[in-house]
Amino acid sequence: MPALFRKLVVVGVGLIGGSFALALKRAGAVSEVVGIGRSAASLDVAVRRGIIDRIGAADGATLRDADLVLLAIPVGQMAAAMRAIAPHLGADTVVTDAGSTKAGVVAAAREAFPATLSQFVPAHPIAGAELSGPAAATADLYAGRRVVVSPLAETSPAARARVESAWLACGARLSVMSPEAHDRIFATVSHLPHLLAYALVHELCERDNAGELFGFAASGFRDFTRIAGSSPEMWRDIFLENRGALIAELDRYVAKLGTLRARLDAGDGAALERLLEKASRARKDWAVDQDACNDGGG
Amino acid sequence: MPALFRKLVVVGVGLIGGSFALALKRAGAVSEVVGIGRSAASLDVAVRRGIIDRIGAADGATLRDADLVLLAIPVGQMAAAMRAIAPHLGADTVVTDAGSTKAGVVAAAREAFPATLSQFVPAHPIAGAELSGPAAATADLYAGRRVVVSPLAETSPAARARVESAWLACGARLSVMSPEAHDRIFATVSHLPHLLAYALVHELCERDNAGELFGFAASGFRDFTRIAGSSPEMWRDIFLENRGALIAELDRYVAKLGTLRARLDAGDGAALERLLEKASRARKDWAVDQDACNDGGG
């Protein structure tokens, strides 16, 4: 049986792109993987780990006969990367991305691929960690994880099916929604929590007694702020790309904090407990559902 | 060698009180442990697990000959529990607590123990989890963890030394500070993060599309909100007891969010990245220090 893809080009061979390549290789879904990236050191790691078979460039030799190109770079770099690869893509090359926001990536694709937009399939794998780089890549990263596919009106059904089959081969579960719906949902469940965690750590580390404060921080603080250890460059891009939805979420959240503040100030223990009770139950129910999903696999 | 304590009475045999008893028993530091609590079911579990040797009550038979009484109950219940045990304490009985706030506990102790304040030693073990109850108790809970001891001017050096020796026998590390300093520090590194996590989950679970939102929440959200699964009763009490310091922290934090909002709104990527970079580095440095502490043990 021939592999699903003869030639995959990964632009940005970090945790996300590298794990995609490893998962497809393990599934026997790809014959050859070529990596393009900014960092020669990262590309060397990727070659040594067998993530990519060789190092390429944004040129015809690398791209013209590629079946699939994955853009796995911070969303702020998408426009430049698309412009760089656009002149060299083959007629059958399908391009997809793994960006954490979708509206900006789609706008960049409309600029860069005006004639071949049917071959572009926006997507976002819901995976990652505070780790990054090809050394952290693993074939298991996407097992049981969701991948959001956000096809455009112009995206060809065949191109979309190719990208979906790749993510299914990685063990992921697929969800389909518009780029706008994607960006609203992830502003709520991902971008806002990251902003809040960064804000708390920044607030603490600017204080005169920061050392003392961090010294007494325990496991609750550790988990709450884990995502503040994420890549500043990646998250600067995400926050800026999705700032419209993110600011709306932030304003709702600050209003909720105002409600809590008023209850605290009034010493309204009953109202406070009702709120905590509802949140605690929702959080526990969600954790149970998550475990059920993960146990169920695929 | 005789045990450090002949008779320990634990009021509230949950995760905190139960783990204290188990740790002291394992260290050979206590001969007999008697439990007092609201829940007969929990006390039965504590007996079956060997956490307590028998079930007692707030009476002379239980308390008169106790060497040490640990109050391990939500801070909102401390005043009533202190009033209940006060008439029955022996002249040599040392009383300590494991409350997460200190100023309110101290005020309650001044009311309940006017003549025997020298025997009261406020303390707070920095340990715990989203788990609770005697089924979750473990002799290892305090190994390498910090315990803050907040002696009063009236606390006798001998009583303080007794309580400190108990926590050292549990494997904990000691820090000493005033109740006020304690409450300020923990408002920052513990109470505020809990409030923020509860607020986020509550904000989400009141929305029409809560199910969809939770469905796309991933590992970042999971860790950020883990503490929102904590006991609503316990945290209602902590928030109310420490609301002065907590509201001050909340206001500082909301001001920081305002700074972030302004940078987002202005599209100021450079300033945003500097802030994220500083927070990310501080968070990573802290994690390294934490690991070093934990590896070092004791």
B70 or A298, higher pLDDT = B70
With contact defined as beta carbons under 8 Å apart, do B196 and A274 qualify? Answer: no
Residue A202: pLDDT band with limits 50, 70, 90: very high
- Residue B127 in domain: yes
Whether the CA torsion B238, B244, B247, B249 is positive or negative: it is: negative
Tell me if B68 is assigned to some domain.
Answer: yes
Last residue of a domain, one of B139, B158, B177: B177
The pLDDT value given to residue B35: 98
pLDDT in tens, A165-201: 999 999 999 999 999 999 999 999 999 999 999 999 9
pLDDT above 60 (res A13): yes
Residue that wins the pLDDT comparison between B218 and B162: B162
Query: A44-73 pLDDT, tens per residue?
Result: 999 999 999 999 999 999 999 999 999 999
**Does residue A89 form part of some domain?**
yes
Residue A129, pLDDT score:
63
- Nearest-5° angle of CA B182, CA B185, CA B190? 110
For A131-159, what is the mean pLDDT? 95
**pLDDT for A84 beyond 80:** yes
Domain co-membership, B32 together with B163: yes
Q: Is residue B159 located within the same domain as residue B96?
A: yes
Identify the domain boundary among A122, A152, A177: A177
Comparing alpha-carbon positions, the chain A residue that sits nearest to B216 is A189
Contacts of A183 in chain B (CB under 8 A): none
pLDDT tier for residue A1 given thresholds of 50, 70 and 90: low
- Among the ranges given (A147-161, A189-203, A284-298, B44-58), the one the predictor scored with the smallest mean pLDDT: A284-298
A146 alpha-carbon distance from chain centroid: 11
CA distance B107 to B105: 5
pLDDT at A297 over 50: no
Residues A31 and A168 reside in one and the same domain: yes
pLDDT in tens, A116-142: 999 999 999 998 766 789 999 999 999
Indicate whether B259 and B216 sit together in one domain. Answer: yes
Listing from the earlier edge strand, what are the strands of the sheet with B120-121? B54-55, B30-36, B5-11, B68-71, B94-97, B120-121
**What's this model's pTM, rounded to 2 decimal places?**
0.89
pLDDT, averaged across chain A: 94
Residues B68 and B154 in one domain: yes
Nearest CA to CA, how far is B201 from chain A (Å)?
5
CB contacts, 8 Å: B174 with chain A:
none
A77-82, long-range: CB within 8 Å, 24+ apart, which pairs?
A: A77/A12, A77/A237, A78/A104, A78/A105, A78/A108, A78/A109, A79/A108, A79/A111, A79/A112, A81/A11, A81/A12, A82/A108, A82/A109, A82/A111, A82/A112, A82/A113
Q: What is the pLDDT of residue A132?
A: 82
**pLDDT (average), residues A3-16:** 96
Residue numbers in A near B175 (CB within 8 A): 216
- Amino acid in the structure at residue B49: R
A185–B243 CB contact, under 8 Å:
no
Residue B55 burial by Cβ neighbours in a 10 Å radius (0-12, 13-18, 19+):
middle
- Together in a domain, B163 and B238: no
**Contact flag A194-B220 (C-beta cutoff 8 Å):** yes
- Per-residue model confidence (pLDDT) at position A281: 96
Is B231 part of the contact surface with chain A (CB cutoff 8 Å)? yes
Q: Flag if A214 and B252 touch (Cβ within 8 Å).
A: no
3-state DSSP assignment of residue B54: strand
Instruction: Return the pLDDT at B291.
Output: 67
Band of residue B131 on the pLDDT scale cut at 50, 70, 90: confident
Q: B30 by DSSP, 3-state: which? A: strand
- Residue that is last in its domain, among A177, A200, A233: A177
B189 touching chain A per CB within 8 A: yes
**What is the model's pLDDT at position A289?**
81
Q: Is the pLDDT of residue B47 over 70?
A: yes
For residue A292, being part of any structural domain is answered with no
Same domain, A20 and A163: yes
The predicted structure's pLDDT at residue B128 = 72
Q: Mean pLDDT of all residues in chain B?
A: 94
- What pLDDT is stored for residue A296 in this prediction? 35
Rounded to an integer, the average pLDDT of B114-120 is 97
- What is the per-residue pLDDT for B295? 40
Residue that has been written with the tokens 């999903």 in this structure: A293
A275 falls within a domain: no
Among A111-120, A147-156, B193-202, B230-239, the range scoring the smallest mean pLDDT is B230-239
CATH number at residue A62: 3.40.50.720
Confidence of residue B77 (pLDDT cuts 50, 70, 90): very high
Is A294 in the B-facing interface, judged by CB distances under 8 Å?
no
Residues B22 and B85 in one domain: yes
What is the token pair recorded at B177? 């500070």
Q: Is residue A204 part of a domain?
A: yes
Q: Is B288 an interface residue toward A (CB < 8 Å)?
A: no
Does residue B294 have a pLDDT over 60?
Answer: no
Residue-number span of the structural domain to which A63 is assigned? 5-177
Q: Has residue A271 been placed in a domain?
A: no
pLDDT at A293: 54
CATH number of the domain bearing residue A235 = 1.10.3660.10
The interface pTM score, or ipTM, of the predicted complex is 0.88
Most confident of A158-162, A216-220, B3-7: A158-162
Choose from A246, A286, A293 for mutation: most chain B CBs within 10 A.
A286
Q: How far is CA B220 from the centre of its chain?
A: 25
Question: Does A119 share its domain with A205?
Answer: no
- Say yes or no to pLDDT of B298 above 60: no
Rounded to a whole number of angstroms, the distance from the CA of A244 to the nearest CA of chain B is 8
- B185 lies within 8 A of chain A by CB: yes
A79 — contact with chain B (CB < 8 Å)? no
B134 and B220 fall within a common domain: no
Cα separations in angstroms, B85 against B9, B22, B40, B72: 11, 23, 19, 14
Could you tell me the pLDDT band of residue B3, with boundaries at 50, 70 and 90? confident
pLDDT the model gives residue B127: 87
Position A215 scores a pLDDT of 92
Handedness of CA A31, A35, A40, A42 (dihedral sign): negative
Instruction: Based on the fold, state whether residues B95 and B206 are members of the same structural domain.
Output: no
The minimal CB distance from B284 to the residues A195, A229, A239 is found for A229
State how beta strands B54-55 and A94-97 pair: unpaired
- In this complex, do B279 and A192 lie within 8 Å of one another by their Cβ atoms? no
Q: Which of A189, A231, A276 sits opposite B232 (nearest CB)?
A: A276
Task: Give me the pLDDT at residue A127, please.
Answer: 87
Number of domains forming the structure of chain B: 2
Query: A221 and A112 in one domain?
Result: no
- The span from the CA of B185 to the CA of B41, in Å, is 35
> In chain B, pLDDT over 90 holds for what percent of residues?
91
User: Does residue B156 lie within any of the structural domains?
Assistant: yes
Query: In b/e form, how buried is each residue of A18-31, taking b as 16+ CB within 10 angstroms?
Result: bbbbbbbbebebbb
Q: Which of B200, B231, B237 to mutate to test the interface with A (most CBs of A within 10 A)?
A: B200
The residues in A 237-276 lying below 8 A from B, measured between CB atoms, are: 239-240, 243, 246-247, 250-254, 256-257, 260-261, 264-265, 267, 269, 272-273, 275-276
Say yes or no to pLDDT of B162 above 80.
yes
A290 → chain B, closest CA residue: B215
Report the candidate in B161, B143, B160 with the shortest Cα–Cα distance to residue B151: B160
Chains A–B, number of C-beta pairs less than 8 Å apart? 256
Q: How confident is the model at residue A295 (pLDDT cuts 50, 70, 90)?
A: very low
